[in-house]
Every structure is written in C-alpha cells, then in structure tokens.
Amino acid sequence: MKRLKFLMLIVCLMAMVSSVNAQEQLTTKIAEWERAKAYTKEYLDAMPETGYALKPTPEMRSFAEQMLHLTDANYGFTAAATGEKSPYGFGDLEKITDKSKANVTKVVLAGYDYVIAGLKKLSATQMQEKVKLMNRFDLTKDMVFTKDFEHQTHHRGQATVYLRLAGVKPPQEKLF
C-alpha cells in the first residue's frame, strides 16, 4: 500500500513538472513572437517609402506584398489554431490598394498582435489539441504556430534582398 501511494505521488509530481514545463514553453513562444514583431518592424522602418513598390523581377511580389503575404499567413494560421474567424480572407491582404509604408506597417504589426493575442488565449493543454490547417494538415495548435513562425521568418529573410536592392543595410540579426 505504501509503495502504491509513493508511486502515485511520483506520478503526480511528474505531471506537475510537465505542466509547468508546457506553460514555460508557451510563455517562451509568446516572447519569440514579440521578438519577431520587433524585428519585422525594423525591416519595415528600414525600407524607404519608394522601396515598398520594389520588385526584384516583374513576376515577384513587391516588398509591400511580401510583408502583406507574411501577414496573411499570420492571420490565417492563427485563426486555424484558435478557431476564431480571421478578420481577413486568406490572400486578401496582398491585394489591398494602399501599399504605402504607413499602411503596410500598421497592417503587418496588427497581424503580429493578432498572433500574440491568439497565443495568450490558449493554455498549454490547448496547444496540444489537433486542428486542420488549410483543410489538409492535421497538426497540434502548437505546430500551427511553429509553422507560421517558420513562414514569417522565411519571408522576412527574403526581404533582406529587397532592402539590399534598395541600397539599404538590413537590420542587425535579432536572434535573442
């Protein structure tokens, strides 16, 4: 009997540690998104107004469209993970007509705020629930946010070339 109680105590302690660990991971994920927002803002600020229409080749997105594409995914992925309706349809942001520096900056930063607010609404337990992304991928909510983070990092990285083509030095890498 004593042995059974001891084993139950150990199991309970392990569950508590696991729960604390999962909550720490969620807190870290939120902090990483806040860092990504600040880093992206540095890119938006660095590009001169005239560079927002810059396309390295005619078939590529402009700098503004690149940033709006990044934001489209931020809204779409977060909506999929939280179950809330996105304020924008997937792909709609790239098509907005006001692609000025001020408007794109406002829209992109609001997209990051949407992601961060979505993460803050979820518990560590909810992050392990499965959802369907893009009507074809069964992923945990945590993985949806991970894939979105990868996506925004990829497109912000592409924006480095746009800045260089505009004669602008890209922001210093912000890993931490």
Binding-site residue numbers for a divalent metal cation are 69, 151, 155
Task: Identify the DSSP state of 138.
Answer: E
Let me know: does 44 contact 160? Beta carbons within 8 Å. Answer: no
Let me know: does 155 contact 38? Beta carbons within 8 Å. Answer: no
Listed residue (125, 132, 160, 158) closest to 147, CA to CA? 132
3-state secondary structure 70-125: HHHHHHHHHHHHHCCCCCCCCCCHHHCCCCCHHHHHHHHHHHHHHHHHHHHHCCCC
Instruction: Please report the sign of the dihedral spanned by the C-alpha atoms of residue 160, residue 170, residue 52, residue 154.
Output: positive
Residue numbers in the known binding site are 69, 151, 155
Listed residue (75, 84, 143, 155) closest to 115, CA to CA? 75
